[in-house]
């Protein structure tokens, strides 16, 4: 307000200056003129004039009196009595003197000085004067002489009659004109005075009008102000927020009804009291007082004018509650005031806290679930792998036909169980946000064909026919994540087969529209079955995790209820959607819509090669520090017909990769000298002949973030430990397209006998002996004092290495414990480590006795 | 403004003796002023007559002032009219002053102050002849105050004065 003065105020200031100046000028003129008029009047009053007219006429009168005296004497003649005569003479003398004196006045008085300048007056005056002067001697002479000369004097004097007349007339005329001029002058001055007075009056009138309008304007604006005030008071009194107005010292000036309701005071109670004592809780009072003092000093303001702040306030009963507060300062006639808007947010804060804790509980629950799933899957998968591996070993022994069938059944169950566990792991990975999408050219026709082929067996088991077809023009080559689409379709098809008995499952692929944003065509995959169908109300739920439509059906169609949930997650990860349309009793249509950009046909694709069933011997490099593991892998691969080169640490692996181009490299992760990730980076960036060949990570760590790390390092694929032949085969097939036709490839040599058979007695015993030595050494290191003060990272590496060997010798329990020890060291959980160390030593003591050690 | 009140203390004392007598002294030479009318002190049957000597013996006041009828500044010496009226024991009413040509003016006694006007009998140290508006002339100190430069004052400044009459 201070900086910008309203326009009308500036104008009126100018107007006041102008009017003031005008007034000053007019007033000065009026005063000057008034003074002139007063002077004029004064002059006329003091009138030098006296009675000039009187004097002038008196000249004639006195002249005639003089003549009369002379004539009187002459008339009477000398016959008169002597005293009479004497009287006559003295009368003549007296009249002469009077006349003389009069003329003398005319000659010398300054009243007549201007008149004397005019010849009409000067000439007769001179004549008169000379006559009088000439007569003086006779008058002053003795009576006799005067007597004698009376006649002459009369003659001379009477000739001057016309002069006297002219003298007085011209004088009167002159003075008449003079006074005319003076009157005209005065009249002019008066006229000017009148004019100026009129101007002054006019100016006054103008000012009056101006003042009238100004006054009206002020009255109007004050009315507006009063209105605004009233409005403001209404706003204040109806405000839902508490409003407290205080002066600069914190004394309450205003306390609106909302504030009364919030704090439990009435305005009358609090007016003039200190805000701090009323509403600031004791623990904030020091800060409040400090803030007030700072404000009074004109220092920094922490709250005033800083927008909304959340603080605590105190009610009349002393209860402290949270408020949202905004302070602003303003200036009124009494100085600075502070206006506070307060909102009781205790309910909101309570709600928020409840929400937060609910969310925290939910998150914690979700996290616990995810952790549980991940851990359980992992914990289940490891022994399951053991069961499956041992089953395949058992299958290779001499068995009766029944036993073979039992083993076959167990293997099938094992595979199903493993796929369920893998599903759960997939979900856990997806929920952890670790799912990555890799896009490469994929032949959709081949992919769908492959699925139909692979599922035809299980379809046939349930009396179902399975088929697929393109609708419209086939455009099979797209860039996408083939394994994910394969998984989606497998789940949908598997689901369809499960719920259809003696019916038909058909898969349709059709291009239908395109994505608005990327312009990629939408591919719609439809899996149509003639099965039991889904009730309308269940259609929305089938994609939920662990959903099974009907518990009884769930028995018939074994399933975790995760398949469709995984399909939906994967479809979303690819930017698409899934859905279902169904008619109970008639069947269902599950569809997937995915935006898939077209692609050039890929190079010889895995599926084509697999379709062709080409057998190819690969040139492979295996990098693995554990001699036993290395030996096992090597045996497996050589049995598959591949040529194997080995390296025992990352460094030598990198060197070996630099010598020639391998078809693929299998790389352990934890290795001395240089770990697998670093070695992979070196190979990828080194520009050597093997810089771009597939590198398969070999690790016991199958957790999502670990796998992610492998990918980041540049690894192509991943095989979990312990290694099985089919897993190895799959991995090689997926990264190289190589396909080993020998389906009857030997199982994993994880039985001690098979190992002995594979390696030969000497080598086996040497390896076993070495393993025992290493394990004995480790047991010593695991004594408390040793691990507490020794090199923990070396201990960790040792555990990791020996764990791999333990698996090979069938000591899975020992392996698990060693991995636990490794993890405990990693996590620096010393308490747990102590327990695990004891368990390891105990376990080793019992396991050692079972080993066929040559004494 | 040069009012020089030449009050001659010795003369006042000299006058005090005859004044205390019930009668004004008789004039010894030509009578120049006859006071008549409502007066207390007389030296004749109904009038108080003064010659120049009698006036000259009374306390004198002198002005040096210009007049509108003469040239330059003149120094007048005369008897304050107030003193003269005191002498004839006239305290209120109006004085009718008449000149030798019977020209008469009215001077209210109330307007007469201790020093103005004077009945002048000397101008520039000499007695005034009739031709010089003498022998007596009622004169005000015109230059000393604008109050003395008004038409009324000018009209009261009668020259060739020879009679005063005090009327109620």
Q: Select from B38, B74, B31 the least CA-distant residue to B55.
A: B31
pLDDT > 60? residue A450: yes
pLDDT at A737: 58
pLDDT at B13: 39
Residue B153 CA: distances (Å) to CA of A365, B67, B142: 128, 11, 9
- Any CB–CB contact under 8 A between B132 and chain A? yes
Residues A515-544: tens digit of each pLDDT: 888 888 899 999 999 988 888 777 777 887
Contact state of B100 with A98 under an 8 Å Cβ cutoff: yes
**Chain A interface test: which of B65, B68, B105, B159 (most A C-beta within 10 Å):** B68
Residues of B in contact with A58 (CB under 8 A): 103
- Give the minimum alpha-carbon distance from A216 to chain B in angstroms, rounded to a whole number: 52
Average pLDDT over residues A400-414: 84
Q: For residues B38 and B168, is the Cβ–Cβ distance under 8 A?
A: yes
Q: For residues A477 and A602, is the Cβ–Cβ distance under 8 A?
A: yes
Contact state of B69 with A111 under an 8 Å Cβ cutoff: yes
- Any CB–CB contact under 8 A between B20 and chain A? no
Residues A678-705: tens digit of each pLDDT: 999 999 888 888 888 889 888 766 665 6
Average pLDDT over residues A482-497: 88
168 residues of chain B, pLDDT tens digit each: 444 444 443 344 344 444 444 567 777 888 888 888 888 777 777 788 888 888 888 888 998 998 888 888 889 999 998 888 888 888 888 889 998 888 888 899 888 888 888 999 989 888 888 888 888 999 999 888 888 888 888 888 888 898 888 888
Residues B86-135: tens digit of each pLDDT: 888 888 888 899 988 888 888 998 888 888 889 999 898 888 888 888 88
Q: For residues A307 and A327, is the Cβ–Cβ distance under 8 A?
A: no
A46 vs B100, B146, B159: nearest CB = B146
Residues A156-202: tens digit of each pLDDT: 888 888 888 888 888 888 878 877 887 788 888 888 888 888 888 88
Q: Which of A77-86, A385-394, A548-557 has the lowest mean pLDDT?
A: A548-557
pLDDT at A107: 85
Residues of A in contact with B100 (CB under 8 A): 94, 97-98
User: CA-CA distance, B58 to B83, in Å (whole number)?
Assistant: 8
- Give the minimum alpha-carbon distance from B15 to chain A in angstroms, rounded to a whole number: 32
- Relative to beta strand A695-699, strand A717-720 is parallel
A109 vs B68, B129, B150: nearest CB = B68
Residues of A in contact with B103 (CB under 8 A): 58
Q: Which positions ≥6 away from B36 have C-beta within 8 Å?
A: B46, B47, B48, B163, B164, B165, B166
Boundaries of every domain in chain B: 23-167
pLDDT > 50? residue A12: yes
pLDDT > 60? residue A612: no
pLDDT > 60? residue A421: yes
Q: Select from B41, B30, B16 the least CA-distant residue to B166.
A: B41
Q: Which positions ≥6 away from A78 have C-beta within 8 Å?
A: A85, A147
- Any CB–CB contact under 8 A between B100 and chain A? yes
B131 vs A47, A49, A97: nearest CB = A97
Residue A640 CA: distances (Å) to CA of A107, A422, A615, A753, B11: 169, 26, 10, 20, 178
User: CA-CA distance, A445 to B88, in Å (whole number)?
Assistant: 165
pLDDT at B23: 67
E strands, A707-834, in order: 717-720
B68 vs A50, A58, A65: nearest CB = A50
Q: In the structure encoding, which two tokens stand for residue A331, read together?
A: 């200036």
- Give the minimum alpha-carbon distance from A103 to chain B in angstroms, rounded to a whole number: 9
User: CA-CA distance, A738 to A614, in Å (whole number)?
Assistant: 7
Q: Alpha-carbon Rg of chain B, whole angstroms?
A: 15
Q: Which positions ≥6 away from A387 have C-beta within 8 Å?
A: A410, A414
Q: For residues A472 and A510, is the Cβ–Cβ distance under 8 A?
A: yes
3-state SS assignment for residue A321: strand
pLDDT at B77: 92
List the single residue in A with minimal CA-CA distance to B70. A109
What percent of chain A is predicted at pLDDT more than 70? 86
What is the enclosing helix (H) or strand (E) of A559? none
pLDDT at B148: 86
Q: How confident is the model at residue A775 (pLDDT cuts 50, 70, 90)?
A: confident
Residues of B in contact with A48 (CB under 8 A): 68, 149
Q: What is the mean pLDDT of chain A?
A: 79
pLDDT at A589: 92
A46 vs B129, B149, B155: nearest CB = B149
Q: In the structure encoding, which two tokens stand for residue A826, read together?
A: 């990693």
pLDDT at A275: 86
Q: Which of A190-194, A433-437, A586-590, B160-164 has the lowest mean pLDDT?
A: A433-437
CB hemisphere CA count around A21 (13 angstroms): 6
Q: In the structure encoding, which two tokens stand for residue A811, read together?
A: 């000591």
pLDDT at B21: 42
- Give the minimum alpha-carbon distance from A174 to chain B in angstroms, rounded to a whole number: 18
Residues of B in contact with A100 (CB under 8 A): 130-131
ipTM metric = 0.79
The yes or no reply on domain B23-167 and CATH 3.40.50.620 is: no
Question: Is residue B75 packed enough to be buried (19+ CB in 10 Å), middle (13-18) or exposed (0-12)?
Answer: middle
> Phi and psi at residue A546, in whole multiples of 5°?
60, 25
- Any CB–CB contact under 8 A between B72 and chain A? no
**Checking phi first, is residue A478 left (phi over 0); if not, alpha (psi -120 to 50) or beta?**
beta
Q: Which positions ≥6 away from A373 have C-beta within 8 Å?
A: A424, A425, A427, A428
What number of other Cβ atoms are within 10 A of residue A123's Cβ?
A: 14
Cβ contacts below 8 Å, chain A against chain B, sum to 58
Contact state of A50 with B100 under an 8 Å Cβ cutoff: no
Identify residues of A whose CB sits under 8 angstroms from chain B CBs.
Answer: 42, 45-51, 58, 62, 65, 94-95, 97-98, 100-101, 104-105, 108-111
- What is the DSSP-derived secondary structure letter of residue B129? P
**Chain B interface test: which of A101, A129, A136 (most B C-beta within 10 Å):** A101
Burial string for A128-166 (b: 16+ CB within 10 Å, else e) reads beebbeebeebbeeeeeebbebbeebbeebeebeebbeb
Q: Select from A489, A408, A500 the least CA-distant residue to A448.
A: A489
What number of other Cβ atoms are within 10 A of residue B1's Cβ?
A: 9
Residues A330-347: tens digit of each pLDDT: 887 778 888 888 888 888
User: CA-CA distance, A646 to A653, in Å (whole number)?
Assistant: 8
- With tokens 């007769």, the residue in question is A124
pLDDT at A736: 67
- Any CB–CB contact under 8 A between B159 and chain A? yes
B155 vs A50, A110, A111: nearest CB = A50
Q: How confident is the model at residue A744 (pLDDT cuts 50, 70, 90)?
A: very low
Higher pLDDT, A232 or A51: A232
Q: For residues A93 and A139, is the Cβ–Cβ distance under 8 A?
A: yes
Residues A53-110: tens digit of each pLDDT: 777 888 888 888 888 888 877 555 444 445 555 667 888 888 888 888 888 888 888 7
Q: For residues A15 and A178, is the Cβ–Cβ distance under 8 A?
A: no
Q: Give me the DSSP letters along A631-672.
A: HHHHHHHHHTT-EEEEESSHHHHHHHHHHS--SEEEEESS-S
Q: For residues A744 and A726, is the Cβ–Cβ distance under 8 A?
A: no
């Amino acid at each position: 307000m201070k900086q910008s003065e309203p326009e009308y105020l500036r104008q009126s200031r100018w107007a006041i200056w102008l009017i003031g100046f005008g007034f000053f000028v007019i007033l000065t003129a009026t005063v000057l003129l008034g003074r002139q008029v007063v002077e004029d009047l004064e002059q006329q009053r003091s009138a030098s004039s006296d009675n000039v007219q009187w004097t002038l006429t008196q000249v004639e009168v006195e002249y005639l009196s003089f003549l009369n005296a002379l004539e009187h004497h002459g008339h009477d003649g000398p016959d008169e009595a002597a005293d009479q005569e004497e009287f006559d003479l003295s009368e003549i003398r007296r009249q002469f003197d009077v006349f003389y004196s009069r003329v003398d006045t005319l000659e010398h008085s300054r009243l007549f000085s201007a008149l004397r300048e005019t010849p009409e007056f000067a000439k007769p005056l001179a004549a008169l004067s000379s006559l009088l002067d000439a007569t003086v001697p006779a008058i002053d002479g003795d009576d006799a002489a005067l007597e004698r000369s009376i006649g002459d004097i009369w003659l001379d004097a009477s000739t001057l009659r016309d002069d006297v007349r002219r003298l007085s007339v011209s004088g009167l005329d002159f003075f008449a004109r003079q006074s005319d001029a003076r009157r005209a002058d005065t009249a002019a001055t008066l006229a000017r005075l009148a004019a100026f007075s009129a101007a002054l009056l006019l100016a006054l009138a103008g000012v009056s009008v101006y003042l009238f309008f100004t006054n009206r304007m002020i009255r109007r604006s004050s009315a507006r102000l009063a209105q605004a005030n009233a409005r403001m008071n209404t706003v204040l009194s109806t405000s839902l927020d508490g409003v407290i107005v205080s002066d600069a010292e914190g004394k309450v000036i205003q306390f609106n009804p909302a504030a009364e309701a919030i704090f439990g005071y009435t305005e009358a109670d609090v007016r003039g009291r200190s805000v701090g004592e009323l509403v600031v809780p004791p623990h904030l009072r020091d800060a409040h007082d400090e803030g007030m003092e700072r404000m009074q000093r004109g220092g920094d303001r922490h709250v005033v004018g800083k927008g909304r702040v959340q603080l605590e306030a105190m009610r009349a009963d002393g209860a402290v509650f949270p408020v949202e507060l905004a302070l602003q300062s303003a200036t009124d006639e009494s100085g600075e005031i502070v206006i506070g808007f307060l909102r009781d947010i205790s309910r909101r804060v309570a709600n928020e806290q409840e929400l937060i804790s609910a969310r925290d509980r939910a998150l914690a629950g979700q996290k616990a679930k995810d952790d549980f799933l991940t851990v359980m899957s992992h914990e289940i998968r490891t022994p399951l792998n053991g069961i499956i591996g041992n089953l395949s070993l058992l299958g290779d022994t001499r068995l009766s036909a029944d036993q073979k069938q039992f083993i076959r059944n167990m293997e099938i169950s094992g595979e199903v169980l493993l796929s369920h566990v893998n599903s759960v792991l997939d979900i856990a990975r997806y929920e952890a946000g670790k799912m990555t999408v890799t896009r490469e050219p994929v032949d959709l026709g081949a992919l769908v064909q492959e699925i139909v082929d692979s599922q035809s067996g299980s379809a046939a088991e349930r009396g179902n026919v399975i088929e697929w077809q393109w609708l419209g023009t086939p455009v099979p080559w797209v860039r996408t994540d083939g394994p994910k689409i394969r998984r989606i379709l497998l789940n949908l098809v598997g689901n369809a087969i499960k719920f259809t008995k003696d019916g038909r499952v058909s898969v349709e692929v059709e291009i239908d529209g395109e994505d608005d944003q990327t312009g990629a065509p939408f591919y719609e995959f439809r899996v149509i079955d003639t099965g039991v169908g889904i009730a309308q109300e269940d259609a929305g739920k089938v994609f939920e995790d662990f959903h099974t439509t009907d518990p009884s059906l769930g028995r018939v169609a074994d399933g975790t209820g995760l398949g469709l949930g995984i399909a939906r997650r994967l479809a979303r990860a690819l930017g698409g959607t899934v859905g279902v349309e169904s008619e109970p009793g008639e069947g269902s249509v599950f569809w997937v819509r995915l935006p898939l950009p077209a692609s050039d046909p890929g190079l010889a694709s895995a599926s084509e090669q697999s379709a062709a069933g080409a057998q190819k011997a690969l040139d492979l490099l295996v990098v693995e520090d554990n001699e036993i593991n290395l030996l096992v892998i090597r045996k497996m691969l050589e049995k598959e017909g591949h040529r194997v080169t080995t390296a025992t640490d990352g460094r030598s692996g990198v060197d070996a990769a630099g010598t020639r181009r391998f078809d693929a490299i299998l790389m352990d992760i934890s290795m001395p000298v240089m770990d697998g990730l670093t070695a992979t980076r070196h190979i990828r960036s080194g520009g050597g002949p093997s810089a771009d060949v597939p590198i398969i990570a070999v690790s016991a760590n199958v957790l999502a973030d670990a796998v992610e790390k492998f990918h980041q390092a540049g690894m192509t694929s991943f095989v979990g430990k312990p290694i099985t032949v089919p897993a190895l085969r799959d991995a090689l097939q997926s990264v190289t397209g190589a396909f080993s036709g020998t389906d009857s490839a030997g199982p994993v040599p994880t039985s001690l006998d098979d190992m002995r058979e594979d390696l030969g007695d000497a080598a086996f015993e040497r390896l076993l002996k070495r393993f025992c030595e290493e394990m004995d050494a480790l047991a010593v290191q695991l004594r408390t004092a040793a691990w507490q003060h020794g090199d923990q990272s070396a201990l960790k590496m040792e555990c990791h290495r020996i764990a791999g060997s333990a698996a090979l010798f069938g000591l899975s329990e020992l392996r698990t414990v060693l991995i636990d020890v490794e993890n405990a060291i990693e996590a620096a959980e010393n308490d747990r480590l102590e327990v695990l160390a004891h368990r390891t030593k105990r376990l080793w003591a019992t396991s050692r006795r079972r080993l066929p050690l040559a004494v | 403004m040069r009012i020089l009140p030449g009050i001659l203390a010795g003369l006042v004392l000299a006058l005090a003796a005859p004044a205390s007598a019930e009668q004004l002294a008789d004039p010894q030479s030509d009578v120049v002023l006859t006071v008549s009318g409502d007066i207390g002190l007389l030296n004749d049957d109904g009038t108080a007559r003064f010659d120049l000597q009698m006036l000259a013996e009374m306390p004198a006041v002198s002005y040096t002032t210009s007049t509108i009828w003469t040239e330059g500044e003149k120094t007048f010496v005369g008897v304050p009219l107030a003193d003269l009226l005191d002498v004839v024991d006239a305290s209120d009413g109006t004085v009718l002053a008449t000149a030798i040509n019977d020209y008469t003016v009215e001077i209210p006694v109330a307007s007469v102050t201790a020093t103005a006007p004077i009945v002048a009998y000397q101008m520039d140290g000499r007695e005034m002849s009739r031709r010089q508006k003498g022998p007596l002339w009622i004169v005000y100190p015109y230059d000393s105050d604008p109050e003395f430069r008004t038409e009324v004052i000018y009209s009261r400044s009668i020259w060739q004065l020879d009679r005063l009459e005090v009327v109620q």
